[in-house]
Structure 1
Amino acid sequence: MIGAGFFLTLNDAVLKWLTGDYPVGQIMFLRGVFVFLPIAFFVWQAGGAKSLRVRRIQPHLLRGALMVAGTFLFINGLRHLPFADAISITFAGPLFVTALAAPLLGEVIRWRRWLAVIIGFIGVLIIIRPTSEVAQWAAIFPLAASVTGALRDILTRKMSQHDSSVAVMFYSTLAVTFAGGMTFLGGWAPVQTSDLGLFLLCGILLGFAHFLMIEAFRLAEAALVVPFKYVSLLWAVLLGLVIWGDIPDGWTFAGAGVVVASGLYILHRERIRKTKT
């Protein structure tokens, strides 16, 4: 999950760069096309087309729909918000995963972890600050993306028990690419030759990130794995500063700190539970 977070943050930085010149649907399509390059490599490593066989197609359709919605929402958030702010708000995702892991996965979530979830959401409110400019309508995009991401992660945990990681990634990528391609009728911008390399980079980064993420959910419970996503905050702050000169204010750091602390406490409680069992 740490590796996935690193690649995802680099991918997000390149995406934010591209949002100034291309509509969201076009970005989803072109990046999706290039994601199939690492997918082809993983398919080859996994033994060919047989690795794409799945037990049931319905969960893959649902995960694809969640990926489409989450990608659209998050890219719009990147377009309108400072990079570190957008990333910080999406850190609500692990909190949603913990909250939903009990009813959807049957995982035991005791009162201490519920308290950590509530405190974490308070941290998200500190970042958004309902009375500040950061809480403009644009903040809704990454927050909603974190909800779809949480549902996707929980579904991934279930699917990865019987379908291969490459199959899960293949069908979700196909859904996002198809959905992005359908926006062609709404008008696309001419693609600059120099930007093709950026789309290629996005595809490779995203492909490796999602493969690592799916493997993480295959190997461990969702509530245990997800808090490691918080490491991405360090990369988000650094990239935002170097590329755009964005310096998060004290409220953003404070809110992100509360969210990260809540996630780490959830991890701590999970380790204690594992030790007792």
Structure 2
Amino acid sequence: MARDNLVAESTPAQALRAIFCMVGGVALLSLNDGIVKVLVATYPVGQLLFLRSLFVIPWILLLAHFSGGLSTLRVSHVKGHALRAICVIASGFFFVTGLIYLPLADAIAITFTGPIFITAMAPLVLGERVGWRRWLAVLVGFLGVLVILRPGTAAMQWAMLLPLGAALASGMRDLITRRIASSETTVAVLFVTTTAVLVAGLLTFPLGWVPFRARDLWIFGLSSVIFTTAHYLMVEAFRNGEAALIAPFKYTSLVWGVLFGYLLFNHLPDGWTMLGAGIVVLAGLYIAHRERVRRKQQAAA
């Protein structure tokens, strides 16, 4: 696979590819989240993440084979990969644990704070200046989070903090992905991260695992294909389009989360959750808009 640099400004073809990759990636990831919610009722979180990674790695190696061989697994930004792996491990443990206690759509809605965390952390991680308009959007986004969480009411659950932690870790992951994607292949990014999650999951063995059920083999197999494809598409989206272009399309995961939550668990989110999610989405869309304006101004300067 070619080590294409991240494009400063996408061509129309690249932009369309990036959008399709992001929409397809989040749809598959939402479906996989539903499958994980089914499995986590049986398996401890660490064991589940270990087993999923074990099933995913062969597919990544197959991708490497058809993308240019094992040379595509070579990495040059070791520190970046290590930091990204830590973020993915934290995000995985937080989110999957949250699925034990929360409805699927609610957990996904809370993770919409990811782009807001990205904006808030951009000055520290990327040295990027964030104007007052985007800071205002960040505050509005966190107001939406408060609407979802409803602290001080009976609706508030401590478990809601878990997908919030996952969103923070995912935001860091995306910032790091933007920094290393120009020098690393998509396959290498997937392989390093998945291997790290596998090792982290294995370390939970002393905490107690349960016997593997043979009838779950096909479920893990299906989940591994969906998970690998989803993350491949999302890394490709960042490779082909600017973050400001593709970020709004991540919010289509709410539609998929509601759909799969209803089909798999017969659950629909309440009005407050949808209202809060709507506020967070609007804040995220405005942040993406201001990012595009900023890039155009920089290009014209």
**Structure-2-length-normalised TM-score:** 0.87
Distance 2:246 2:234 in 1: 9
What is the correspondence of 1:80-95 to structure 2 with a 5 Å cutoff? 80-95=101-116
The SS at the match of 1:91 is helix
Alignment equivalent of 1:105, drawn from 80, 101, 126: 126
Match of 1:190 in 2: 211
What is the correspondence of 1:167-206 to structure 2 with a 5 Å cutoff? 167-206=188-227
Distance 1:202 1:69 in 2: 20
Match of 1:159 in 2: 180
Please list every run of at least 4 consecutive aligned residues from structure 1 whose deviation after the TM superposition is greater than 6 angstroms. Answer: none
Match of 1:128 in 2: 149
Match of 2:269 in 1: 248
Distance 1:145 1:186 in 2: 22
Is the CA contact (8 Å cut-off) linking 1:66 and 1:151 kept in structure 2? yes
Q: How much has 1:205 moved relative to structure 2?
A: 1.2
Q: How much has 1:4 moved relative to structure 2?
A: 1.3
Distance 1:269 1:30 in 2: 41
Distance 1:253 1:133 in 2: 17
Q: 1:246 to 1:139 in 2, by over 3 A?
A: same
Q: How much has 1:223 moved relative to structure 2?
A: 4.2
| Structure 2 residue 36 is matched with structure 1 residue 15 | yes
The SS at the match of 1:87 is helix
| Structure 2 residue 60 is matched with structure 1 residue 39 | yes
User: What does the per-residue CA deviation read over 1:194-230, in whole Å, with 9 as the maximum and x for residues that have no partner?
Assistant: 2111111121111111112222222334344333211
Alignment equivalent of 1:61, drawn from 75, 82, 85: 82
Letter aligned with residue 164 of structure 2: L
Is the CA contact (8 Å cut-off) linking 2:244 and 2:289 kept in structure 1? no
Is the CA contact (8 Å cut-off) linking 2:77 and 2:180 kept in structure 1? no
Distance 1:84 1:26 in 2: 24
Match of 1:273 in 2: 294
Alignment equivalent of 2:235, drawn from 205, 214, 224: 214
Q: How much has 1:166 moved relative to structure 2?
A: 0.8
Is the CA contact (8 Å cut-off) linking 1:127 and 1:252 kept in structure 2? yes
Unmatched segments (≥5 aa) in structure 1: none
Q: How much has 1:134 moved relative to structure 2?
A: 3.8
User: What does the per-residue CA deviation read over 1:99-147, in whole Å, with 9 as the maximum and x for residues that have no partner?
Assistant: 2223312344322222111101110110111023442211111001111
Is the CA contact (8 Å cut-off) linking 2:77 and 2:183 kept in structure 1? no
Unmatched segments (≥5 aa) in structure 2: 1-21
Q: Percent identity?
A: 48
**Structure-1-length-normalised TM-score:** 0.95
Distance 1:270 1:11 in 2: 30
Distance 1:172 1:59 in 2: 11
